[in-house]
């Protein structure tokens, strides 16, 4: 047989649980009516742009772990850009493969949240003769992040 204090504790638990469910339901219905997310697990909106500065057509194919952004052939000064929200836990990663016709130039991490979250909100990469240069919003010189394999 359950003693009365244990019975009261169970009753209080179920009452609090019921109140919690009702409150969450009300908040979520209000959020849905206003086309808002109830609990956002994404961070800020980021933009990545890759610009080909070479005199040849550069093939670029970008992906994340769960999304294939697609393949593009970039002529000189053409760009390839996309936007995304950083995952709340800073695990967002986009990588791109580069080629010049049949020549594999390499596969590189173009957006890595741990590295880039504080570096740039609009991350620009220039594909130059010797590799990939990364720019940030800060007025500092670009850095050579990745050298071409060939």
| Least confident stretch, 12-21, 89-98, 123-132 | 12-21
Q: pLDDT (tens digit, 9 = 90+) per residue, 33-48?
A: 444 444 445 678 999 9
The residue ranges of every structural domain in the chain are 1-39, 42-147
Question: What pLDDT score was predicted for residue 129?
Answer: 96
Pairing between strand 42-52 and 122-127? Answer: parallel
Q: In a 10 Å sphere around its CB, with 0-12 CB exposed, 13-18 middle and 19+ buried, how is residue 101 labelled? A: exposed
Q: In a 10 Å sphere around its CB, with 0-12 CB exposed, 13-18 middle and 19+ buried, how is residue 50 labelled? A: buried
Q: Which of 124, 115, 73, 121 is nearest to 97 (CA)?
A: 73
Residue 91 scores a pLDDT above 60 = yes
Residue 118 scores a pLDDT above 60 = yes
Residue 139 scores a pLDDT above 90 = no
Q: Which runs of consecutive H residues, i.e. helices, occur in 4-138?
A: 4-33, 113-116
| Average pLDDT of span 110-122 | 91
Residue 141 scores a pLDDT above 90 = no
Question: What pLDDT score was predicted for residue 38?
Answer: 45
* CATH label, 42-147, candidates 1.10.3470, 1.10.101, 2.40.10, 2.60.40: 2.60.40
What pTM was computed for the model? 0.71
| Least confident stretch, 23-27, 55-59, 141-145 | 23-27
By the 8 A CB rule, do 125 and 54 touch? no
Q: Which of 101, 111, 102 is nearest to 132 (CA)?
A: 111
Residue 29 scores a pLDDT above 90 = no
Q: What percent of the chain has pLDDT over 90?
A: 54
């Amino acid at each position: 047989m359950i003693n009365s204090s244990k019975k009261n504790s169970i009753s209080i638990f179920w009452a609090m649980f019921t109140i919690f469910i009702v409150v969450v339901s009300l908040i979520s219905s209000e959020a849905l009516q206003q086309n808002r997310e109830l609990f956002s697990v994404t961070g800020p909106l980021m933009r990545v742009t890759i610009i080909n500065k070479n005199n040849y057509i550069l093939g670029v194919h970008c992906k994340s772990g769960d999304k294939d952004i697609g393949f593009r052939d970039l002529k000189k000064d053409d760009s390839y850009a996309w936007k995304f929200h950083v995952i709340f836990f800073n695990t967002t990663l986009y990588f791109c493969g580069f080629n010049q016709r049949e020549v594999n130039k390499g596969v590189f991490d173009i957006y890595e949240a741990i590295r880039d979250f504080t570096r740039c909100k609009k991350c620009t990469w220039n594909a130059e003769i010797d590799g990939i240069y990364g720019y940030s919003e800060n007025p500092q010189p670009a850095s050579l992040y990745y050298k071409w394999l060939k």
